[in-house]
Chains A and B, each alone.
Chain A
Amino acid sequence: MNTAVNQGETIVFWICGFFAVLGALGLIFSKKAVHSALWMALTMISLAVLYVANQAPFLGMVQIVVYTGAVMMLFLFVLMVVGVDSSDSLIETVKGQRIAAILLGLGLAILLIWGIGSSMTNVGPGSLDDANSVDGGNVQGIAHLIFTTYLVPFEVTSALLITAALGAMVLAHRERWLPKPTQSEMSKARFAGAVHPGNLPAPGVYARHNAVDTPALLPDGSVSDISIPGPLKARGDVRPVDHMEMDEITSIDEGSQS
């Protein structure tokens, strides 16, 4: 199989490589946490396309489904709910965190440079087609490796993930002292209370006004206090009820009685 890179692959590499690096830089330099998350998603998708171009379609798709679709989405979810903003404090909350971060970052950089460097000098490029055709396909090859050679690491990783999920569940768990009220119990409690369960009386007298600052009149002609929004009342913006109206109501009332 040819070890040379064909033209299409070169174009894909330069496009996706550009976007991967752009996304990585955007992740670091964005001021908003949500923007950082989006840049990271871009990097992940670009990497996935590169995996597919390098004849690892399964890895590429799983990368998008798992990392972009699930992990990053959960991140985004948390960022949106919690509302993390750019007011980053420069105070170290964990002692020695910065030094530890620098040291570990350096260590990772050395490892990566060493690993990639030695693979570029000591080891020749292998044939991807040969690797894929051993078990009759890319998916079959990965399945074979996961369930034979790498069975233990794979299972240990899944145990780790399950432990983490279990930890999250324990942290979020709430011991209920009483059984959770059902919908029917809740509706009963609502009607059993002293507060009127239905809508508040609508403001205004529709024949003449329909403004929220006009209080509704009760059958006896008195003003219904709860028909006016609280803020208007507090500002003193309630329209006074006309005496003519009151008299009219009284006369109608008396007329109906006689």
Chain B
Amino acid sequence: MTNSQFGVFGVDPWWLVILKVVAIFVILVLLTLFTIWWERRVVSRMQNRIGPNRVGPQGLLQSLMDGIKLALKEEIIPKTAHLAVYWIAPVISATMAFLAFAVIPFGPTVSIFGVETPLQLTDFPVSVLYVLAIASIGIYGIVLAGWSSGSTYPLLGGLRSSAQMISYEIAMGLSFVAVFLYAGSMSTSEIVSAQQSVWFGVILLPSFLIYITAMTGETNRAPFDLPEAEGELVGGFHTEYSSLKFALFFLAEYINMVTVSALATTLFLGGWMAPWPLSLWDGANSGWWPMLWWLLKVQIFIFVFIWLRGTLPRLRYDQFMKFGWKLLIPVSIVWIIIVAVARALRNDVNFSNQSLLLVGAAVIILLLLVSWAFQVRADRKQAALDEAAAAEAESVFEAAAGGFPVPPMPGQEFTITTRRSMAASTTIVADRAVTEAVTSEQENPDG
């Protein structure tokens, strides 16, 4: 790209690029180890337990020890596994988790060994889309793990997670749109610098809330952790994985948590910019300090993840899907339309904020009136339908009334008239459909 704003990227000397890559890798692995410990401690506290406190100060080295133990464990590969795919699935999952971090800005331009460079590996005009793209490849790891295990529960877990991640990626992508409209860019560094005066999480609150919901669904975390619902699917897609391959999935899940948190920080909480009381200090947004603000903001999101896990029960799968498709996506689309109209009015028609509010109020009143009118109409229609149904229930069902014999609808009574005796007739209450519906729901609660 020759665009001037990306001039600072792609000009690093080779050793600096390698340094940054290694630094990101180390940061992510350390954050994973820390997050596991942090999660266990916080959940313990929420459940009136103590949690790991033996290995290292406050048990901080517990996850390191667990990791070493996990890697040295015996590996069990099911006989029915499709080996090549079984091997590659955890690799895809973990690699993609690391890749997404290439475009996350940690801080402003600093000097490393005399070279002025931004605290970000790289950036380009569509880097937020790049994170989405990498996330969608990462799903392959989970789906393939489920399929290649050659076992039922992993397959179901894999299918669930692919359906879940695709659905929630749509809501997630839609929540970005308002940010893009306001920032005028899809590059992470520009989005951060566009939040100099006010964070997008404040002015685009609905987008922010939708993103937080979608990111929980996207990372398969409680209360949306249906792919690994242990009560239903044992371990979901990773049931048949053990030893280092399981460790890779574990690593990927925690890195994904950090990634979506970092993205939320970048898009909605001003990235590495210092929060309000700190921003009064002139030096807060220069040098290495911003990295600390960034880390604190990410940790807040991670804490929210843990908090949710400690608080909420798991959703039922059909409710969860309905929530995604029938609530999150429509609401985000309506919100984008509102944002786009407001932007267009302000930019092109030169509307002031006051008149914008007036127009908004008028539109809301109009919508309320229209919905009220629709409600009245629907009520009337429903009343007419009920009346018709009541009338039909009273009338006797005649199988051949239309000239051709038809089976009764549920609720209608079928009168069999034999040739022998017209008088002796048997009545069958057609309640079969009712029981069928009930049993099929019981067998297949996924819908």
Residues of A participating in the B interface, judged by any CB pair closer than 8 Å: 32, 34-35, 38, 41, 45, 48, 55, 57-58, 61-62, 64-65, 68-70, 73-74, 76-77, 80-81, 129, 132-133, 136-139, 177-178, 180-181, 185-186, 189-190
- Which of B125, B147, B438 is the one whose CB lies under 8 Å from A138? B125
A178 with B125: CB separation less than 8 A: no
Which chain B residue shows the least CB distance to A74? B166
Segment of B69-77, B138-146, B204-212, B244-252 engaged in the interface with chain A: B138-146
Pick 5 A–B contacts, CB within 8 A, sort by A: A35-B85, A38-B85, A45-B137, A61-B133, A185-B438
B216 at the interface (CB under 8 A from A): no
Across the interface, which residues of A come within 8 angstroms of B166, CB to CB?
69-70, 73-74
User: Is the pair A65, B159 in contact by a Cβ cutoff of 8 Å?
Assistant: no
Q: Give chain B residues whose Cβ lies under 8 Å from the Cβ of A41.
A: 140
Given contacts A58-B129, A77-B162, A137-B125, contact A177 B410 (CB under 8 A): yes
Taking CB atoms and an 8 Å cut-off, the chain B residues in 71-99 that contact chain A are: 82, 85
| CB–CB B434/A69 < 8 A | no
- The answer to whether B143 touches A139, judged by C-beta atoms less than 8 angstroms apart, is no
Q: CA A24 – CA B159 in complex, angstroms?
A: 25
Given contacts A38-B144, A73-B166, contact A177 B433 (CB under 8 A): yes
Q: How close is B229's CB to chain A, nearest CB, in angstroms?
A: 17
Instruction: Tell me which residues across on chain A come within 8 A of B158, comparing CB atoms.
Output: 80
Interface string of B316-360 (1 = CB under 8 A from A): 000000000000000000000000000000000000000000000
Closest to A35 in B: B85
**B116 sits at the interface (CB 8 A):** no
List A contacts of B124 (CB < 8 A): 57
Contact B136 A68 (CB under 8 A): yes
Contact of B129 with A137 in the complex, beta carbons under 8 Å = no
Nearest A residue to B6 via CB reads A137
Residues of B within 8 A of A (CB): 1-3, 82, 85, 124-126, 129-130, 132-133, 135-137, 139-140, 143-144, 146-147, 155, 158-159, 162-163, 166, 169, 173, 186, 409-411, 433-435, 437-438, 441-442
Q: Which residues of B contact A45 (CB under 8 A)?
A: 137
Contact B409 A177 (CB under 8 A): yes
Tell whether, in the assembled complex, residue A69 and residue B410 are in contact, meaning their CB atoms are under 8 Å apart.
no
Smallest Cβ-Cβ distance to B442: which chain A residue = A186
| Chain B facing A: main interface SS | helix
Minimal beta-carbon separation of A114 from chain B (angstroms): 33
Residues of A within 8 A of B85 (CB): 34-35, 38
* CB neighbours of A180 from chain B (8 A): 437, 441
Q: A65-B132, A129-B2, A180-B437 are in contact. Are A57 and B126 (CB under 8 A)?
A: yes
| Nearest B residue (CB) for A139 | B125
From the candidates B3, B143, B411, name the one contacting A73 in the complex (CB within 8 A).
B143
Query: Which residues in B have their C-beta under 8 angstroms from that of A69?
Result: 132-133, 135-137, 139, 166, 169
Q: Are A61 and B136 in contact (CB under 8 A)?
A: no
Determine the chain A residues whose CB is within 8 A of the CB of B1 once the complex forms. 55, 57, 132, 137-138
A68 touches B3 (CB 8 A): no
- The 8 A-B pairs of least Cβ separation, nearest first, read A69-B136, A64-B133, A61-B129, A189-B438, A57-B126, A177-B410, A61-B133, A61-B126
Is A139 touching B126 in the complex (CB atoms < 8 A)?
A: yes
A57: chain B residues at CB < 8 Å are 1, 124-126
B129 adjacent to A80 (CB under 8 Å): no
The complex places the Cα of A34 from the Cα of B86 at a distance, in Å, of: 13
Task: Give complex CA distance A48, B136 in Å.
Answer: 14
- A136 to chain B: closest CB distance in Å? 8
Whole-angstrom distance between the alpha carbons of A183 and B411 in the complex?
21
Q: How far is the CA of A41 from the CA of B140 in the complex (A)?
A: 10
Question: What separation, in Å, do the CA atoms of A61 and B137 have in the docked complex?
Answer: 11
Asked if B136 and A73 make an inter-chain contact with CB atoms under 8 angstroms apart, the answer reads: yes
> Which residues of B have CB within 8 Å of A64?
133, 136-137
Tell me the nearest residue of chain A to B439, going by C-beta: A189
Distance of A158 Cα from B360 Cα, bound (Å): 30
Given A34-B147, A69-B169, A139-B126, A178-B155 contact (CB < 8 Å): no
A126 to chain B, nearest CB (A): 15
Q: Bound complex: CA of A68 vs CA of B1, how far in Å? A: 25
Q: Which of A32, A55, A133, A139 has the most CB of B within 10 A?
A: A139
CA distance A64 to B144 in the complex (A): 17
Q: Within the complex, what minimum Cβ distance (angstroms) separates A3 from chain B? A: 15
- Smallest CB gap from A79: residue in B: B147
Contact of B3 among A32, A62, A76, A137 (CB under 8 A): A137
Q: A133-B2, A137-B3 are in contact. Are A178 and B136 (CB under 8 A)?
A: no
A residues less than 8 Å from B162 (CB atoms): 73, 76-77
* CB contact between A62 and one of B129, B137, B409 (< 8 Å): that residue: B129
Residues in A with CB closer than 8 Å to B435 are: 189
Q: How far is the CA of A138 from the CA of B125 in the complex (A)?
A: 8
A62, B128: Cα distance in complex, Å: 11
Residue of A nearest to B138 (CB): A69
Q: How near does chain B come to A241, taking the closest CB pair, in angstroms?
A: 34
Q: Is the CB of B159 within 8 A of A77?
A: yes
Closest A residue, CB atoms, query B319: A183
| B339 CB, nearest partner CB in chain A, Å | 17
Chain A positions within 8 Å of B434 at CB level: 178
Q: How far is the CA of A142 from the CA of B233 in the complex (A)?
A: 45
A185: which B residues are within 8 A, CB to CB? 438
Q: Is the CB–CB distance between A178 and B159 below 8 Å?
A: no
- Looking at the assembled complex, report how far the CB atom of A174 sits from the nearest CB atom of chain B, in whole angstroms: 11
17 additional contacts, CB 8 Å, given A58-B129, A76-B143?
A: A38-B140, A41-B140, A57-B1, A69-B132, A69-B133, A69-B139, A73-B136, A74-B166, A76-B162, A77-B143, A77-B162, A132-B2, A137-B3, A138-B1, A139-B126, A189-B435, A189-B438
Interface hub of A57, A58, A190 (most chain B Cβ within 10 A): A57
- Among candidates A35, A65, A77, residue contacting B163 with C-beta atoms closer than 8 Å: A77
Q: Whole-angstrom distance between the alpha carbons of A129 and B3 in the complex? A: 10
Query: Across the two chains, which residue of chain B brings its CB closest to A72?
Result: B140
Q: Which residues of B contact A61 (CB under 8 A)?
A: 126, 129-130, 132-133
How far is B1's CA from A133's CA once the two chains are assembled, in angstroms?
Answer: 9
* Chain A residues whose C-beta falls within 8 Å of the C-beta of B173 in the assembled complex: 65
CB-CB under 8 A from A77, the residues of chain B are 143, 159, 162-163
